């Protein structure tokens, strides 16, 4: 499919990179010559220099014959304008990034009235992800599938954990619920394990489980499941704004430390229930004065990665049970994960993920069968949700009989609203959706790609 992306920032270039690897024709528009030049060196895409909302530029980029336009410039209005123009030119699908909370509240209206296919709001998405994660502090990451009925959660096996030394085949004997370990990260190596795999302390495992069993899972792995009641947020960014709104509704006490006075004033205006402190959250004195050691969750959301990391290190040091860090640059994730910052979020990556999921779903209507895509283990593993259709091969055979490609497994089957954690005896039926976990080096565009083809 031909896809036009307006805005070659972090999100735009991530999208271009990802989508071009999946076999799409990408045309990237940006109004910065240097950026355009750099992108055309780095990526195998077509670049157009100019203002994406100008008719001539859009015609240059051949928007009228494209299947999709994605507008991810820094300005909301420009993004919307690009989409409206593209619609009028005949582009069927348009996606705009809109971040202003005031517009975000009217996103349904914008979508319907302006004929947009999707509006992405990275800050809101991040806030929701953080919020969802906070419900289960024992998991470092949580991805939902099957309309929220199943999850893949990330668990770190600590020294002395009862999971330490367990062979996966034996795992179900130790647990009262059915779960499936679908990926393991050991050191920097990623493994899609089979039954003979033996877990060790220090492994990060990715476990599939029905959402309803998550509480039980927390109990089994011996983690305390304290819900966030006292939350300290450093940096009153938009993510903080959305997150505070969600937290206050659950009755949590939220304290926000924000450096800018005008912004503090705005937050105090919006959230009378929250405690707003106008101070520098990266200063140890301020954190001490505001009793950072007593909170159960500390979230760093300032605009500076370095500040966020420093504060998170400090929070770990004083023993805050749950620390969540926002990091814009994802290159160094490995580095600080080793140093104890496990729960790091990148809003831009999340935004790109969201859009790629949509593009996949679009293809679904054109014959492919992939519903959504999630990145796991720093993008080294993909979890794909696919539909099982009449065209799917090996219908009715048990999974033990089917030969799957190496480094790939079926993590979960969702049948008529019921979540099945599959064993060798389960079969695939028409109407199911399945979650397939595989390493990133393999591109799966159709469910049939997972089977070893008999030539």
Partner 1 sequence: MNYRMIRNVIGRIMCVEAAFMVPALLISLYDKESGAVTGFLVTIALLLAAGLPMALIRTVRRGFYAREGFVIVGLAWLVVSLFGGLPFFISGDIPNFVDCIFESVSGFTTTGSSILTDVESLPRGLLYWRSFAHWLGGMGVLVFILALSPLTRGKGDEMHLLRAESPGVIKGKLVPHMHQSAMLLYKIYIGLTVVQIIFLAFGRIPLFDAVTITFGTAGTGGFAIKNDSMMSYSPYIQVVTTVFMIIFATNFNIFYFILIREFKKCLKNEELRAYLAIILVSIAAITINISSRYASVGETIRHSAFQVASIISTSGYASTDFDLWPEFSKGILVLLMFIGASAGSTGGGIKVIRILVMFKAGKRAIYKAIHPRGVKLVHLDGEVMEEEIVSSVQSYMMIYFLIFFASLLLVTVDGFSFETNFTAVAACFNNVGPGLAGVGPTMNYSQFSMFSKIVLCLDMLFGRLELFPMLILFYPSTWKK
- Chain residues in the site for partner 1 (CB under 8 A): 261, 264-265, 267-269, 272, 275-279, 286, 290
CB of 137 or CB of 281, closer to partner 1: 281
The nearest distance, CB 375 to partner 1, in angstroms, is 38
Residues 6+ apart with CB under 8 A from 312: 298, 300, 323, 325, 341
Q: How far apart are CA 197 and CA 191, in angstroms?
A: 9
Q: How far apart are CA 40 and CA 17, in angstroms?
A: 11
Mapping DSSP to helix (H, G, I), strand (E, B) and coil, where does residue 40 land?
helix
Q: Is 109 exposed, middle or buried (0-12, 13-18, 19+ CB in 10 A)?
A: exposed
What is the DSSP code (8-state) at residue 1?
A: -
CB of 277 or CB of 450, closer to partner 1: 277
Query: Token pair for residue 377?
Result: 């283990």
CB of 83 or CB of 295, closer to partner 1: 295
The nearest distance, CB 183 to partner 1, in angstroms, is 45
The nearest distance, CB 281 to partner 1, in angstroms, is 11
CB of 137 or CB of 236, closer to partner 1: 236
The nearest distance, CB 263 to partner 1, in angstroms, is 9
CB of 160 or CB of 285, closer to partner 1: 285
Helical spans, DSSP H, in 251-346: 261-270, 284-289, 305-317, 333-338
Q: How far apart are CA 54 and CA 71, in angstroms?
A: 13
The nearest distance, CB 250 to partner 1, in angstroms, is 20
Q: How far apart are CA 152 and CA 180, in angstroms?
A: 9
Q: Are 96 and 116 in contact (CB under 8 A)?
A: yes
What is the DSSP code (8-state) at residue 309?
A: H
Only one residue has tokens 């939350």, namely 231
Residues 6+ apart with CB under 8 A from 92: 67, 68
The nearest distance, CB 276 to partner 1, in angstroms, is 4
With residue 239 as reference, give the H or E element that holds it.
helix 238-249
CB of 260 or CB of 401, closer to partner 1: 260
The nearest distance, CB 258 to partner 1, in angstroms, is 8
Please give the C-alpha separations between residue 365 and each of 21, 24, 352, 369, 371, in angstroms, as whole numbers: 20, 16, 21, 8, 10
CB of 177 or CB of 279, closer to partner 1: 279
Q: How far apart are CA 422 and CA 449, in angstroms?
A: 19
CB of 4 or CB of 267, closer to partner 1: 267
Helical spans, DSSP H, in 191-233: 214-220
The nearest distance, CB 290 to partner 1, in angstroms, is 8
Q: Is 345 exposed, middle or buried (0-12, 13-18, 19+ CB in 10 A)?
A: buried
The nearest distance, CB 95 to partner 1, in angstroms, is 35
CB of 117 or CB of 264, closer to partner 1: 264
What is the DSSP code (8-state) at residue 451?
A: B
CB of 58 or CB of 264, closer to partner 1: 264
Residues 6+ apart with CB under 8 A from 165: 198, 199, 200
The DSSP code sequence of 337-401 is HHTT---EE-HHHHHHHHHHHHHHHHHHHTT--EEEEEEETTTTEEEEEEE--TT-TTTTSBTTT
CB of 199 or CB of 256, closer to partner 1: 256
Q: How far apart are CA 189 and CA 182, in angstroms?
A: 14
The nearest distance, CB 318 to partner 1, in angstroms, is 19
The nearest distance, CB 121 to partner 1, in angstroms, is 24
CB of 18 or CB of 244, closer to partner 1: 244
The nearest distance, CB 108 to partner 1, in angstroms, is 22
Mapping DSSP to helix (H, G, I), strand (E, B) and coil, where does residue 147 land?
helix
């Amino acid at each position: 499919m031909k896809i036009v992306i307006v805005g070659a920032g972090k999100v735009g270039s991530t999208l271009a990179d990802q989508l071009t690897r999946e076999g799409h024709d990408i045309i990237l528009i940006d109004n910065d010559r240097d950026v355009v030049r750099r992108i055309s060196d780095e990526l195998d895409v077509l670049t157009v220099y100019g203002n994406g909302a100008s008719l001539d530029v859009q015609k240059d980029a051949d928007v009228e014959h494209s299947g999709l336009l994605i507008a991810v410039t820094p300005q909301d209005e420009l993004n919307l304008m690009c989409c409206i123009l593209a619609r009028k030119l005949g582009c069927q699908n348009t996606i705009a990034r809109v971040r202003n909370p005031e517009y975000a509240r009217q996103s349904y209206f914008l979508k319907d009235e302006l004929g947009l296919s999707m509006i992405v709001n990275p800050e809101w998405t991040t806030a929701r992800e953080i919020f969802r994660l906070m419900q289960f502090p024992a998991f470092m990451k949580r991805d939902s599938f099957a309309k929220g009925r199943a999850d893949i959660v990330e668990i770190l096996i600590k020294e002395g954990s009862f999971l330490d030394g367990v062979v996966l085949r034996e795992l179900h004997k130790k647990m009262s619920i059915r779960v499936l370990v679908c990926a393991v990260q050991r050191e920097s190596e990623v493994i899609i394990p089979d039954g003979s795999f033996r877990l060790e302390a220090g492994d990060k495992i990715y476990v599939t489980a029905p959402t309803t069993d998550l509480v039980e899972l927390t109990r089994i792995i011996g983690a305390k499941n304290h819900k966030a009641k006292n939350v300290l947020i450093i940096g009153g960014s938009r993510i903080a704004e959305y997150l505070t709104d969600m937290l206050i509704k659950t009755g949590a006490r939220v304290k926000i430390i924000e450096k800018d006075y005008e912004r503090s004033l705005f937050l105090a205006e919006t959230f009378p229930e929250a405690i707003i402190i106008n101070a520098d959250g990266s200063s140890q004195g301020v954190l001490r004065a505001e009793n950072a050691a007593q909170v159960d969750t500390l979230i760093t959301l300032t605009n500076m990665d370095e500040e966020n990391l420093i504060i998170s290190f400090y929070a770990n040091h004083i023993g805050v049970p749950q620390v969540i860090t926002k990091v814009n640059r994802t290159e160094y994730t490995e580095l600080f994960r080793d140093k104890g910052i496990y729960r790091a979020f990148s809003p831009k990556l999340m935004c790109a993920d969201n859009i790629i999921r949509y593009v996949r779903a679009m293809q679904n209507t054109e014959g492919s069968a992939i519903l959504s895509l999630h990145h796991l283990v720093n993008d080294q593993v993909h979890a794909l949700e696919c539909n099982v259709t009449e065209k799917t091969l090996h219908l009715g055979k048990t999974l033990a009989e089917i030969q799957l490609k190496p480094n790939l497994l079926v993590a979960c089957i969702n049948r008529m609203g019921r979540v099945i954690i599959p064993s060798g005896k389960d079969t695939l039926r028409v109407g199911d959706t399945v979650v397939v976990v595989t390493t990133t080096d393999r591109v799966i565009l159709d469910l049939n790609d997972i089977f070893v083809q008999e030539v």
